[in-house]
Amino acid sequence: MKKAYERFIDYVKIHTTSDEESGTHPSFEGEFDLAKLLVRSLNKIGMKDARVDDKCYVYAYLPATPGYENATKIGFIAHMDTSPEASGKDVKPIIRENYDGSDIVLEGSGDVLSVSRFPELKSFIGDTIITGDGTTLLGADDKAGIAEIITAMETVITENIPHGELWVAFTPDEEIGEGADFFDLKNFGAKYAYTVDGGDVNALEYENFNAASAEIAIKGVSVHPGSAKDIMVNASLVGMELNSLLPSYMRPEHTENREGFFHLIYFTGQVSSAKMSYIIRDHDMNLFNKKKEILTAAVKSINERYGEGTATLTIKDSYFNMLEKIRPHMHLIENARTALKEAGLSPVDVPVRGGTDGARLSYDGLPCPNLGTGGINYHGNYECCSIEKMDKAVEIILNLIKIYSKAEY
């Protein structure tokens, strides 16, 4: 039977970078390459009805062991795409045995994975770790999760571990916020699920940001600068002024834990027009709504100064904090804590400073907290993971399967 890391090494070599500009579903055709491989793997280990649909969602299930039909139906979910924030093409995974806690030179780029910059590396001392070569991301987010789920399913089958009905799903385009868009909840038979898409393996994540996007269009007045007095309205400068009206301490670089932020992710302009794009984030719904009010007030102030219609604001909610939907089902959290402890770990509750497929799915009716995969430094060329932590993630999934086989929730 393959170890999780052996599967992982195969998966990361497949290019699956999602593309938010494509307008297609999936956003990148290469995601089908991994999806088809996963269907073959699921069939090979003995999962039932393994399939990939026309939107590149992979599903499979395992019928309950005879006598366990009344056990809770549980699912495990991970995503196939990698972040467009760094290249995911031609990934070259490098296995480094018995990590000693020192800085690591990434051979392909010469960059240094340093302990001073990434102190989380200290938790990897003594482990065998996997990095890229520095020219791409690695893909542990979330191909490690996929490998861990499939390895756990194969272990259940080969070791005849009693279980209730089990479901797995692998989604495309999570990294661009579309992973739950076409998820087939109607035919996904689990009552509850866990995404396996977090960081360190001892993390338990059941809170995430409330999220919105904000688009601002600014209309300027362009005239020759030699005759511009009291006429010109420079849209780019208006955009800069608007941004200055937002509290500087509410930027990502000044926040942590449950502190929310405004993040200017795009700004382009000239004298006659400008466009700005923000994301708005906060764990607390009241503070989230307050941030939307602050941005609305800033736009109003600009229009009062330069004329109505100078700035036009469009705010769109993206996803919400899953905590509200998890609270009625806290057995998901308590059982996960038990599963972590049985694996010899000390659980750490981590508020997700982002979103997951699980957040969307929780609001769609599938309560779905998040488990760690054993990796760090996601979305960049310094990404790495630990083989031993991946093994622990498999153990945690198996522990949860055993826990849910004993009771109906």
The reported pLDDT for the residue numbered 408 is 84
- Residue 199 clears pLDDT 90, i.e. is over it: no
The reported pLDDT for the residue numbered 328 is 97
From 19, 148, 173, 174, the catalytic residue: 174
What single letter denotes the amino acid at residue 241?
E
pLDDT digits (tens, 9 = 90+) for 374-386: 999 999 999 999 9
Which position has the token pair 């393994």? 50
The reported pLDDT for the residue numbered 345 is 97
Cα-to-chain-centroid distance, residue 176 = 9
- Residue 299 clears pLDDT 90, i.e. is over it: yes
Share of the chain above pLDDT 70, in %: 100
- Residue 20 clears pLDDT 90, i.e. is over it: no
pLDDT confidence bin for 94, thresholds 50/70/90: very high
pLDDT digits (tens, 9 = 90+) for 219-246: 999 999 999 999 999 999 999 999 999 9
* Mean residue pLDDT across the chain: 96
Average pLDDT over residues 311-322: 95
The reported pLDDT for the residue numbered 238 is 98
- Residue 354 clears pLDDT 90, i.e. is over it: no
The crossing angle, in degrees rounded to 10, of helices 387-405 and 140-158 is: 50
Average pLDDT over residues 83-95: 96
Cα-to-chain-centroid distance, residue 104 = 26
From 19, 31, 81, 200, the catalytic residue: 81
Region 210-319: CATH code = 3.30.70.360
The reported pLDDT for the residue numbered 52 is 98
Cα 329 to Cα 350: distance, rounded to the nearest angstrom: 18
Cβ proximity of 376 and 82 under 8 Å: no
The reported pLDDT for the residue numbered 4 is 98
Cα 1 to Cα 176: distance, rounded to the nearest angstrom: 34
- Residue 75 clears pLDDT 90, i.e. is over it: yes
The reported pLDDT for the residue numbered 356 is 82
Q: How is the chain split into domains, by residue range? A: 4-207+321-405, 210-319
Residue 26: asked if its preceding bond is cis (omega within 30°), the reply is yes
Cα 334 to Cα 360: distance, rounded to the nearest angstrom: 21
What single letter denotes the amino acid at residue 104?
I
Active-site residue flag, 174: yes
Specify whether domain 4-207+321-405 bears CATH 3.40.50.10490.
no
User: Which residues neighbour 2 within 8 Å (Cβ) at sequence distance 6 or greater?
Assistant: 151, 154
Exposed, middle or buried by CB within 10 Å (0-12, 13-18, 19+), for 68?
Answer: middle
Prediction pTM value:
0.90
Active-site residue flag, 349: no
The reported pLDDT for the residue numbered 304 is 97
Q: What are phi and psi of 279, to 5 degrees?
A: -115, 145
Cβ proximity of 204 and 393 under 8 Å: no
pLDDT digits (tens, 9 = 90+) for 107-157: 999 999 999 999 999 999 999 999 999 999 999 999 999 999 999 999 999
The reported pLDDT for the residue numbered 13 is 97
Cα-to-chain-centroid distance, residue 390 = 17
